[in-house]
Amino acid sequence: MSRHRPDPETMYGALALATRAPSVHNTQPWRWLIGRQSLHLMADWTRQAHVTDPDGHDLLLSCGATLHHARVAFAALGWASRVHRIPNPADTDHLAAIELHPADPSDEDVALAAAITGRHTDRRRYSSWPVPQGHVDLLVEHAARQGVLAVPVTDPIRRHRLATAMGLAADKQESDPAYNMEMALWSGLGLAATEGVLSASAPAGRRCHGDTRMRTFARGDLLESTVEPSALDGGELLVLTTPQDDPVSRLRAGEAASAMLLAATDLGLATCPLSQVVEVPGGRQSVHEDVLDSAGVPHLVLRVGWAPIAAPTLPRSRRRPAEQVTAFLPGAAPCRAHR
């Protein structure tokens, strides 16, 4: 290992963890370029889900999540990151440049990195157990470190407004044949798939957990746990917000989502990002005005709770190998995997 940059094994190990980040429909819309002194995150617009995400909002959130996963992975391996977001505003592909320098990992760095391989999206009903306030406060703190405000929606009236907006957004999308065709392409896949949503991870048909409408996927096989079949769902909803809606804000919102998801996993919580309400302009506006009092731009709703005791383990969706999403800039020495 050089004093100035990680060795090839460290680089690929960290990027392999970065690819575990969540993304809309598990599209993994990112590429990594390795330079002599820096690492570059690039958007892969060929993987944009155009009907679900016409303005690229979800794509940038997804790339923000892999950016944070990469920062966490490098930190646990002894490399701190200095990130330049949107370093060239004229280049819509170039989302971030990362400079790495040696630094001793903290206990938190190691814990969050360990949570990467354990994190998964759980779309099932959650236990009736309440999420402790201290856990919610910690998730809010993790978002704040990324420059994002996470708003727990606990007031019954605001919660009803949010749930209503989520349901209306889902109805609007599901009435669109083009949306349903896109969902069919990106979901209902077998366990060997390296992209898209597995049928074993998606519920069959339309589901509501308490007041929370879930996204409907094609060919879902996920069954609900038979434990606590009549209990209320105790899932909490948090809205991630920023003052502006620009590429940097969207990236940061994705980084905050990653930080909260990893922290929640470390706490033993089940998690599920819910993005439908911000994919529909009317839904986004409704959350902005009726839930946030026009005080912030909503980017994502995060559902957290406790999985029922003895709930079956969910399959881990696979990712494209790091080698498939990584290339070298001119003049950068290739690692052994490319020789």
Backbone angles phi, psi at 13, to 5 degrees: -65, -45
Which one is the CATH code of 8-118+319-338: 3.90.1200.10, 3.40.50.880, 3.40.109.10, 2.40.128.20?
3.40.109.10
- Between CA 339 and CA 321 the distance in angstroms is 17
pLDDT of the chain along its 339 residues, tens only?
456 788 888 999 999 999 999 999 999 999 999 998 899 999 999 999 999 999 999 999 999 999 999 999 999 999 999 999 999 999 999 999 999 999 999 999 999 999 999 999 999 999 999 999 999 999 999 999 999 999 999 999 999 999 999 999 999 999 999 999 999 999 999 999 999 999 999 988 889 999 999 999 988 888 776 666 556 889 999 999 999 999 999 999 999 999 999 999 999 999 999 999 999 999 999 999 999 999 999 999 999 999 988 788 888 999 999 989 999 888 776 545 444
Asked, colleague to colleague, whether 8-118+319-338 and 133-305 share their fold, the answer is yes
Looking at this protein, which amino acid is placed at residue 192?
A
In the sheet that holds 30-34, the strands lie side by side as 79-85, 94-102, 39-43, 30-34, 326-328
Q: Which CATH architecture has domain 133-305?
A: 3-Layer(aba) Sandwich (3.40)
Which is nearest to 126 in space by CA: 268, 223, 271, 265? 271
Contact predicate 6/14, CB 8 Å: yes
Instruction: Tell me the two tokens of residue 24.
Output: 């809309």
N-to-C CA span, the chain: 18
- Count of C-beta atoms within a 10 Å radius of residue 20: 21
The residue ranges of every structural domain in the chain are: 8-118+319-338, 133-305
HSE-CB for 159 with a 13 A CA cutoff: 14
DSSP string, 84-144: EESS-TT-TTEEEEEEEEE-PPPHHHHHHHHHHTT--B--SPPPSPPPPHHHHHHHHHHHH
Which is nearest to 307 in space by CA: 253, 251, 267, 277? 267
Residues 26-44, buried b or exposed e (16+ Cβ, 10 A)?
A: bbbbbbbbbbeebbbbbbb
- Between CA 55 and CA 284 the distance in angstroms is 13
